[in-house]
Structure 1
Amino acid sequence: MKRISFRTRAVFDHMPRALDVLNRMDFRLHAARVNMICSEVAEVEIEFEATGLLSASVFINRLRQMHGITELDERSLEGAVQNAGALAGHEMRAAALR
C-alpha cells in the first residue's frame, strides 16, 4: 500500500482529479483526507493500492503533471503494516506467557 500527499490551492479541483486518475488506473482506494494548512492551501493525502496493470509511480507522475500541485510526497506503507502486524503478534505472545 502507498500513501501520497500533496499541497494545493485548488483542492476542489485537484482532489477529484487525483481520485479520478486513481479510479481510471483501476487502483484500490483505502483512504483520502484533506487538511487545510491555511485558508488558501490544503494538504491532500491518499492511501491506495496499485492493483491494475500500471505501477504506483505512473500515478505519481500523472499527479506531477497537474499544474498547481506542490510538495508531492510518496511513502510506502507496506513495511509499516508488516511491522504493526509483527508487533501485535509479539504482544499477544507476551500476554500468553504472563
Structure 2
Amino acid sequence: MASAYLDVRASFAIAKITSITSPGPAAHLFGLARADARALGYRDAENSGLSEPPVPVMFADEPELVHGWQDGVIEWESQWEYIDVCSFCFGDHSVLQCPRV
C-alpha cells in the first residue's frame, strides 16, 4: 500500500528540483504539495484521538510541509470551536438546553 505522506514528500522533492530548472511551474507544484499536506493534516486530526496529533515523520524536516499539515489540523479543530455555544444567547450550552427559549 502506498503512503500518502511519501507521495506528498515526493511531490515536494519534484517541486524543489523543478524550481532549479524552471522556477515558474515550481510555484504551482509547491502549492499542490502544501495543499496535499493540509488535507492530510485535516484527515489526521479527524481520525486522531489526541488533542495535538504528532507531525508525520515524512514532513518533520520540511517546514513548508509541516506548516501545511498544521494548517489542516487547525482547520479541523476550528470547526468545533463553537459547537457547544447556544445560537440564541451564546451561552455555554446548546440551543436545546437554553433557559431563555
Q: Max radius of gyration: which structure?
A: 2
Q: Normalized against structure 1, the TM-score is what?
A: 0.33
Q: Normalized against structure 2, the TM-score is what?
A: 0.32
Q: Which structure carries more helix by proportion?
A: 2
Q: Which structure carries more strand by proportion?
A: 1
